[in-house]
Chain A
């Protein structure tokens, strides 16, 4: 099946620094990728939809200037958490549909971010 990877798997940073998370589709091309955030014992919340070659679409309440998304190629999308604060500590997961029109999404393993 389709494989999506994320890097890093976990990161600890100081408050005020920026953190970049990479999401890669390993064996397929993804014109669209999705970024989710999951707090402990809660479900996944969609943050934004990343579109290759164009601007990302952010969900209501998600600050686009704080969560920068770049989808520069058909296999890579990045999420940068700028000026991270402790409340940004969470589990960030990306996903991608294997091909256009395919309903199922394939998820990356997630990145755990801890901001001190």
Chain B
């Protein structure tokens, strides 16, 4: 069965550093992979989508990579700020959003 793992349940980093979150998947060949941010008591908010034929995607301080050989996606937040503290979820999917599954999430805390 499909399995999605995110590197750690919680990650603490110092403000200004780069946060790197990992998403690994097995028994799955997603057409694309998305990253979402979820704050406590709120619904997830879409951040970035990367397709299987793309190596890297950037948006402001965010960068996502997708390695289909390693079956892994890395999510980077550069120049992290306390406001970046949240839970980040990866979600691989096949075409057209079918078989959309969330990873367990990584709770990021950026310390001032």
Contact = CB atoms under 8 A, between A and B. Distances in A.
A4 B102 CA distance: 19
B100 interface: yes
5 nearest A-B residue pairs (beta carbon):
A107-B43, A43-B104, A44-B102, A43-B102, A110-B43
A19 B20 CA distance: 40
Interface in B68-110: 89, 93, 96-97, 100-105
27 contacts: A4-B43, A6-B43, A34-B100, A43-B89, A43-B103, A44-B44, A44-B89, A45-B102, A46-B100, A91-B41, A93-B44, A95-B44, A97-B97, A101-B96, A103-B32, A103-B93, A103-B96, A103-B97, A104-B34, A104-B46, A105-B46, A107-B36, A107-B43, A107-B44, A108-B43, A109-B42, A110-B43
Interface of B: 32, 34, 36, 41-46, 49, 89, 93, 96-97, 100-105
Please tell me the size bucket of the interface on A: 20 to 34
Contacts of A4: 43
